[in-house]
Structure 1
Amino acid sequence: MQTYWTYVFVYYSVSYFKLQFIMLRQVMSLMWPSAIWSTNHFIIRNLSSNNSGRKKLIILGTGWGSYSVLKNIDKKQYDVAVVSPRNHFLFTPLLCSTTVGTLEFRSIIEPVRNSHFRHSKDYHFSSAVSVDSRRNVLLCKSEVDESVRYELHYDKLVIGVGAVSNTFGVPGVLEHACFLKEIKDAREIRSRIINNFELAVQPKSTQEDQERLLHIVIVGGGPTGVEFGAEVYDFLKQDVSFLYGDMQKIVRVTLIEANHILASFDKLLRDYAENKIAKREQFELLQATVSEVKKDRVVLTDGKEIPCGLVVWSTGLSPRNFTRRLQFPKNKQHQLITNEYLSVLDTPDDTIFALGDCAEIKDKPLPSTAQVAERKGRWLAKYLNGEETEPFKFQNMGMLAYVGGYSALTDMKLPHGGADIKLKGFHSWILWRSAYLTRLGNWKLRMQVPVDWMKTFFFGRDSSQF
């Protein structure tokens, strides 16, 4: 009984202080109409910012590179606007965890408007159509109403639109496979998994139907494909028997990779991951190439067909149509080529910059990873702020990958010529979770993610369909 009244006291105390804060915010809004009062900042808006003398900076995209620029740019020097069809930043390293309910979707996204723009109109829920580098004008198309098009003038333009999954022209991929790059992809995968289990337990499902529905094929053995397989393995071992009983014994997962999985990792760590996966009874590593994806099966180049209920395609990157249309120098992968200061070649000096998956530094190719994009964004913000004069240099901080069963891989090198660190197993899993927890964008997410982990550990994953 004492515990109950303690809970009631805490609940109403928190509610009281929350109400007081809301009232204070309303009072401040009346006293200073041009102010923003939040838990993080009190910002007095300059309503005459159009005549402030600040340069106009437009950032395309809300991925790792673009968002890093937005978070680090000096808004006293620039009027910053963001143009993106995605109104949130996505913490992609934990995206795989949302596909089976280990984490909830909103626990790994941060709304862009939380960045406190000078004016509400400084975020454009739109897509970039074209760039006129002679007039310094960007043509945009509204995502709400595609018939609405408008132009924006810029003094500086940062292109960080990312890339899309590469299908390599394989027939049926766009129609029948799921990708894993955005929240909507993870939601589709989660929905498909639940639907397939529900179909498998219905009365008219035959043994053949069940085996097909509960067979998941992953194409691509990079970190995304391996980590998705790891999350499915945990879901299978920890939740499926409780939720779907004997269906657990029917589930199968096939990981298809043309070469070796986790090719960018050290060989010892790669071998550890391959052995770990190969020992799992219902998992199969298959060294092969896919020639076609059909509605209910995958066809390999040797003619073999693999019946399945879900195909997850994770095999590299391809440029967006916007990047393809730009009349700037590109490499063979159609990425924009920049100099060491991230300025796009053959454009006015220090006017148009590019970073992330859509760009590459001339003669200095770097991997298309979140770490590279985030580091470029941070450097570019300092450069634009006048705090950096040296060209961009990338120092790899290492790589992490989860392989399931509370085991992970750590492949990193200490800075300033330090020793190599190669870890695997449970200790690496602790490091994997700790590292990503500290890299989450704000304290709200740093609180939500551990709560989701605890809920999953004690109560299992949520299999609700909505």
Structure 2
Amino acid sequence: MIDYDYLVVALGATVNSFNTPGVMEHCYFLKEVEDAQKIRRNVVDCFEKASLPYISEEEKRKILHFVIIGGGPTGVEFAAELHDFLVEDLVKLYPAIQDFVKISIIQSGEHILNMFDQRIASFAETKFQRDGIEVSTGFRVVKVTDDLITMKSKSAGEISIPYGMAVWSAGIGTRPVIMDFMHQIGQTNRRVLATNEWLRVHECDSIYAIGDCASIDQRKIMEDISIIFKMADKDNSGTLTLKEINDVLEDICIRYPQVELYMKSMHMIDIRDLIKDAVGDSHKEAMVVDIEEFKKALSHVDSQVKSVPATAQVAAQQGNYLAECFNKMDQCKEHPEGPLRMTGSGRHYFRPFQYKHLGQFAPLGGEQAAAELPGDWVSMGHSTQWLWYSVYASKQVSWRTRVLVVSDWTRRFIFGRDSSRI
């Protein structure tokens, strides 16, 4: 037993097989360091086995068929790295069987990388086609045995393909310890822990959760619309002027970030654009709204509430946010999670966590990558790969780690990858 003042749950997630028969028994995964070691050993074993003189050509094609199930960023990056490893290194050691090597991606959606810009998805599919990586979209895996993968699509029906190694990268699930904790605190029938906007687990005063094991329940503005109106109506007139709304708008946008997102999505310049449809022509000059018009103006705002993606970028920002909060915890023990200025406190304490998307990369092998960065900027090709190298190195936790990573890349460029089994 260990006593604690504050507990941060950051256990991540585990594999989600969606109860597909045979997945846990026959597939490799991409979650732990041990998984990477198992995959590396098995890839080399496949080449060793296929090199035996008594193995038929049909059996060699089966043994050297590497299948990745899931066409998201993780599956695509693994397929690209595996292709480079096989083509640039292993086939030089096993030239007699290089023609039997095949890599396939099975994706249930219509495109791989469907969370990226469509231009990136098309670029990735075209590059994989040139590289000889077969991409099967619109297929859902329904069963995995020790030598066959059965998949189904609406157009082609059910198809079974032989394989030598299958890697499952089709989703994440909840770790058993998290499920037990959720049961203890009454968060049953959920996939992950529910936290408030300050990353504190609901109904747990001193427990916080970040990363893939948790999700933020952003409070809806319509739940508090009457309270917001009352706080803004300082003269108790029953109506809000443009000045009164502007006085609390900054606080509203901090507490309910969906307001700012909605205004941006609708290309609104200021608060006038937000309320003009709710204000009648007879008093448009004064821009005065009552409670019903105020509700109407904000009625569609909550549609912009979105879950943060399950990425390391989110977890890193959440970790930095909590570190700053804990460092200031002694300064505001009474109300560490607010309140906002419009409720009469006079100043903010801890602002709610707000994720800032800094972009995302998709390494595609062959020293090429694709990037989707803020401002709708899409970049693809060799230059983007070097941008990815620089970003990846800069995100390491220390200069020692950065030097080790860069030195590994340098050795790979000069001498190739280590193809030993261990």
Matched, 1:324 2:179: yes
CA displacement at 1:282 relative to structure 2: 4.8
CA displacement at 1:333 relative to structure 2: 4.7
Matched residue, 1:226: 76
Q: Which has the larger radius of gyration?
A: 2
1:337 pairs with one of 176, 194, 203: 194
CA displacement at 1:316 relative to structure 2: 1.1
Conserved 8 A contact 1:171-1:293: yes
Look up the equivalent residue of 1:390 and give its one-letter code.
Answer: R
Structure 1 residues 333 and 271: CA distance shift in structure 2, 3 A:
farther
Matched residue, 1:6: none
Conserved 8 A contact 2:112-2:137: no
Matched residue, 2:275: none
CA displacement at 1:185 relative to structure 2: 0.4
Look up the equivalent residue of 2:162 and give its one-letter code.
Answer: P
Question: Partners of 1:405 and 1:285 in 2: how far apart?
Answer: 21
Matched, 1:263 2:114: yes
Matched residue, 1:251: 101
Look up the equivalent residue of 1:171 and give its one-letter code.
Answer: P
Conserved 8 A contact 1:329-1:337: no
CA displacement at 1:233 relative to structure 2: 1.6
Structure 1 residues 333 and 421: CA distance shift in structure 2, 3 A:
farther
Structure having the higher strand fraction is 1
Alignment of 1:46-125 (within 5 A): none
Conserved 8 A contact 1:254-1:286: no
Conserved 8 A contact 1:401-1:410: yes
Structure 1: gaps spanning 5 or more residues? 1-150, 414-418
Structure 1 residues 282 and 408: CA distance shift in structure 2, 3 A:
closer
Matched residue, 2:88: 238
CA displacement at 1:283 relative to structure 2: 3.2
Structure 1 residues 330 and 424: CA distance shift in structure 2, 3 A:
farther
Matched, 1:360 2:215: yes
Question: Partners of 1:271 and 1:340 in 2: how far apart?
Answer: 36
Question: Partners of 1:357 and 1:323 in 2: how far apart?
Answer: 11
Matched residue, 1:102: none
Alignment of 1:277-288 (within 5 A): 277-288=128-139
Q: Give the match's secondary structure for 1:323.
A: helix
Conserved 8 A contact 2:117-2:372: yes
Matched, 1:382 2:324: yes
RMSD between superposed Cα atoms in Å: 1.5
Matched, 1:459 2:316: no
Conserved 8 A contact 2:193-2:209: yes
Matched, 1:394 2:355: yes
1:310 pairs with one of 157, 165, 189: 165
CA displacement at 1:329 relative to structure 2: 5.1
Question: Partners of 1:406 and 1:329 in 2: how far apart?
Answer: 49
Matched residue, 1:206: 56
CA displacement at 1:331 relative to structure 2: 7.8
Question: Partners of 1:284 and 1:247 in 2: how far apart?
Answer: 22
Question: Partners of 1:332 and 1:426 in 2: how far apart?
Answer: 46
Q: Give the match's secondary structure for 1:303.
A: strand
Structure having the higher helix fraction is 2
Matched residue, 2:203: 346
Structure 2: gaps spanning 5 or more residues? 219-305, 330-348
Question: Partners of 1:264 and 1:284 in 2: how far apart?
Answer: 17
CA displacement at 1:224 relative to structure 2: 0.6
Matched, 1:178 2:28: yes
CA displacement at 1:338 relative to structure 2: 0.6
CA displacement at 1:236 relative to structure 2: 2.7
Question: Partners of 2:36 and 2:77 in 1: how far apart?
Answer: 13
Look up the equivalent residue of 2:319 and give its one-letter code.
Answer: G
Query: What is the number of equivalent residue pairs in this alignment?
Result: 309
Conserved 8 A contact 1:329-1:345: no
Q: Runs of 4+ in structure 1 displaced over 6 angstroms?
A: none
Alignment of 1:396-411 (within 5 A): 396-411=357-372
Look up the equivalent residue of 2:309 and give its one-letter code.
Answer: P
Question: Partners of 1:234 and 1:250 in 2: how far apart?
Answer: 16
